[in-house]
């Protein structure tokens, strides 16, 4: 409109300040509510520059800036790269960094470091700097992870012996679903000298005087979680002594219980009834066998209940599945007071689950709704968990009840239900097997992936697949008998 009335002008007078206030609040909220997953993270192979605390060579005290903050300087220049020391995210390597010449001030600082009067305290940025900043807002403050180089050696009057080989352990924040060459955030780091007491020829311990070069060798290793380093896939210092771990005890008890269950069912369901058949014990026996019991399979072309011996196999499978679903997969959905403390009733299952995660770092087992990473495309794990608790668990409980308490075999409706269960279990497990191929090779070796597929996911695909074939065969047999009955009735009517 070219002209405005006094009424419209008064309306705009209170409307414009309201719009300005609303826009300002929206901008402030958007800037304030930056979630951690929206901040930048390191890409695979990204350089991470090392900064160290600047210290006085006379006293070893740290030096402050005019703003009374600790002054950080780059790590000394490496002769190999002509640049300060840096590590690459996710890259495990043997890295050399030769400091060309040790001058007098740095030599005295090395004395402080080796004597532990002052540590060689350094730091690494936990994340790369953000590429986008909001105008008018305070820039994001970079967070740093401390990295202390524990240099070791011995001091002499005219020289020193220093262990130049160092192990560098770098931990990433845990991600519950890792992809090939995945990105990540630094969680913690440490570095320490190895074999500092060995001064023999050929060892990593060097005799050092002022003016000599200092050849440092770093064995860099990355870990996808803050868990302690592992040896051959096992946490050697975790367990109950020797090579016995909580998971070992759990699986031993589970195997014993499954063996007892299968043996009992086989005895009471097959051996004992066969021995009681033909004996005139009447109907007072616990299983109802005796002279007065009529075998329905002798009078019908096809029994209502299928009593195949494979039912014992499926019973053992159901008996094995119940504790795994209830006490392993669903454990963290229970109140923490049920499993966290050593006196909690489910603590043994918590130890077994933690030991399994520490050994194999299974991202699917570690997934939970509260710790899922938005944008990582792992929401299907939650769907599979809800399907497991809402469908798989009730079917497994029913199957165990059917084959132990009723002891009548399976009906057509049972076989259809078990067919759907077997197909669902095999399909969801096949998705997990396929996903293993996309796990980050920097975190999971080919041997580790093969172990996951063959030892853990493989049986949960193979056994339900065999069950699906068995149930389909039974259902097709019932359909065949039904068709033959219909044809027989039609033939009689035609006569």
Element (H, E) at 144: strand 144-150
Per-residue pLDDT band for 299 (boundaries 50, 70, 90) equals very low
Question: Is 443 in contact with 224 (CB distance < 8 Å)?
Answer: yes
Using pLDDT thresholds of 50, 70 and 90, give the confidence band for residue 203.
low
For range 220-235, the mean pLDDT: 66
pTM: predicted TM-score of the whole model, two decimal places = 0.47
Give the CA diameter of the chain.
120
What pLDDT shows up at residue 121?
92
Measured between alpha carbons, how far is 264 from 277 in angstroms, rounded to an integer?
Answer: 19
Burial of 190 (0-12, 13-18, 19+ CB in 10 A): middle
Cα separations in angstroms, 119 against 14, 96, 112, 306, 321:
63, 21, 7, 75, 53
Cα dihedral across residues 335, 337, 342, 345: positive or negative: negative
Angle in degrees, CA 367, 373, 374, rounded to 5: 130
> Of the segments 40-44, 390-394, 406-410, which one has the largest average pLDDT value?
390-394
Query: What pLDDT score does 14 carry?
Result: 45
Non-local CB neighbours of 45 within 8 Å, separated by 6+ positions: 88, 89, 90, 91, 181
Which pLDDT does position 23 carry in this prediction? 45
251 phi/psi in degrees, rounded to 5: -70, -30
Place of tokens 């853990």: 456
How far is it, in rounded angstroms, from Cα 456 to Cα 201?
47
Gap between the Cα atoms of 388 and 452, Å rounded = 20
- Give the residue with greater pLDDT, 265 vs 230: 265
Give yes or no for residue 262 having a pLDDT over 80. Answer: no
Q: How confident is the model at residue 469 (pLDDT cuts 50, 70, 90)?
A: very high
Q: How confident is the model at residue 87 (pLDDT cuts 50, 70, 90)?
A: very high
Q: CA 186 to CA 343: how far, in whole Å?
A: 34
Please tell me the predicted confidence (pLDDT) of residue 292: 35
Q: How is residue 194 annotated by DSSP?
A: S
Q: What is the tens place of the pLDDT at every residue in 99-111? A: 988 888 888 888 8
In three-state secondary structure terms, 216 is strand
Residue 141 confidence (pLDDT) above 90: no
**Among 262-266, 278-282, 376-380, 399-403, which range has the highest average pLDDT?**
399-403
Dihedral sign for Cα atoms in the order 268, 271, 272, 276: positive
Rounded Cα gap, residues 352 and 326, in angstroms: 13
Kindly state the tokens that stand for 374. Answer: 């938005």
H/E run at residue 96: strand 93-99
Average pLDDT, the chain: 77
Q: First CA to last CA across the chain, in angstroms? A: 95
Instruction: Give dist(CA 182, CA 202) in Å, integer.
Output: 39
Residue by residue, what is the 3-state secondary structure of 386-432? HHHHHHHHHHHHHHHHHHHHHCCCECHHHHHHHHHHHHHHHHHHHHH
Lowest mean pLDDT among 20-24, 171-175, 349-353, 383-387: 20-24
d(CA 247, CA 233): 14
Interatomic CA distance for residues 337 and 152, integer angstroms: 44
Supply the pLDDT for residue 270: 63
> What's the count of helices (H) and strands (E) in the chain, helices before strands?
12, 15
Q: Identify the residue whose tokens are 């019932």.
A: 478
- Residue with the larger pLDDT of the pair 86 and 136: 86
Cα(160)–Cα(46) distance, integer angstroms: 36
Look at residue 157 and tell me whether its pLDDT is greater than 50.
yes
């Amino acid at each position: 409109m070219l002209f405005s009335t006094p009424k419209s002008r008064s309306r705009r007078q209170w409307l414009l300040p309201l719009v300005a206030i609303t826009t300002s609040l929206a901008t402030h909220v958007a800037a304030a509510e930056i979630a951690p997953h929206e901040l930048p993270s390191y890409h695979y192979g990204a350089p991470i520059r090392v900064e160290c605390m600047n210290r006085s060579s006379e006293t070893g005290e740290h030096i402050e800036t005019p703003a009374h903050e600790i002054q950080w300087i780059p790590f000394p220049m490496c002769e190999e790269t002509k640049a300060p020391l840096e590590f690459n995210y996710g890259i495990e390597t043997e890295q050399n960094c030769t400091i060309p010449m040790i001058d007098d001030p740095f030599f005295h600082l090395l004395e402080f470091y080796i004597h532990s009067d002052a540590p060689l305290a350094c730091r690494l940025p936990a994340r790369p700097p953000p590429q986008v900043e909001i105008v008018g807002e305070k820039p994001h403050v970079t967070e740093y992870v401390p990295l202390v180089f524990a240099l070791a050696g011995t001091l002499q009057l005219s020289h020193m012996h220093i262990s130049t080989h160092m192990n560098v352990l770098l931990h990433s924040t845990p991600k519950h679903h890792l992809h090939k060459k995945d990105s990540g955030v630094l969680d913690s780091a440490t570095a320490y000298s190895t074999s500092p007491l060995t001064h023999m020829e050929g060892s990593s311990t060097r005799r050092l005087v002022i003016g000599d070069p200092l050849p440092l060798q770093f064995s860099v290793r990355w870990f996808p979680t803050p868990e302690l380093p592992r040896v051959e896939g096992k946490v050697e210092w975790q367990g109950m002594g020797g090579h016995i771990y909580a998971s070992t005890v759990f699986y031993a008890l589970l195997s014993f219980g499954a063996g007892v269950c299968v043996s009992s069912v086989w005895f009471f369901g097959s051996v004992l009834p066969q021995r009681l058949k033909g004996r005139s014990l009447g109907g007072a026996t616990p299983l109802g066998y005796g002279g007065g019991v009529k075998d329905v399979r002798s009078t019908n072309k096809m029994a209502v209940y299928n009593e195949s011996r494979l039912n014992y196999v499926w019973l053992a499978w159901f008996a094995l599945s119940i504790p795994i679903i209830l006490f392993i997969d669903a454990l963290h959905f229970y109140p923490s007071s049920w499993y966290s403390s050593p006196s909690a009733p489910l603590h043994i299952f918590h130890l077994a689950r933690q030991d399994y995660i520490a050994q194999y770092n299974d991202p699917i087992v570690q997934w939970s709704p509260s710790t899922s990473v938005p944008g990582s495309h792992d929401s299907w794990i939650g769907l599979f968990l809800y399907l497991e608790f809402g469908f798989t668990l009730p079917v497994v409980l029913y199957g165990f009840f059917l084959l132990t308490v009723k002891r009548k075999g399976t009906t057509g409706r049972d076989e259809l239900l078990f067919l759907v269960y077997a197909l669902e279990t095999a399909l969801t497990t096949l998705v997990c097997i396929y996903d293993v191929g996309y796990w980050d090779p920097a975190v999971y070796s080919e041997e580790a992936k093969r172990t996951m597929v063959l030892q853990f996911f493989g049986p949960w695909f193979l056994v339900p697949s065999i069950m699906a074939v068995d149930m389909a065969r039974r259902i097709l047999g019932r359909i065949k008998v039904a068709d033959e009955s219909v044809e027989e009735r039609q033939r009689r009517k035609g006569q």
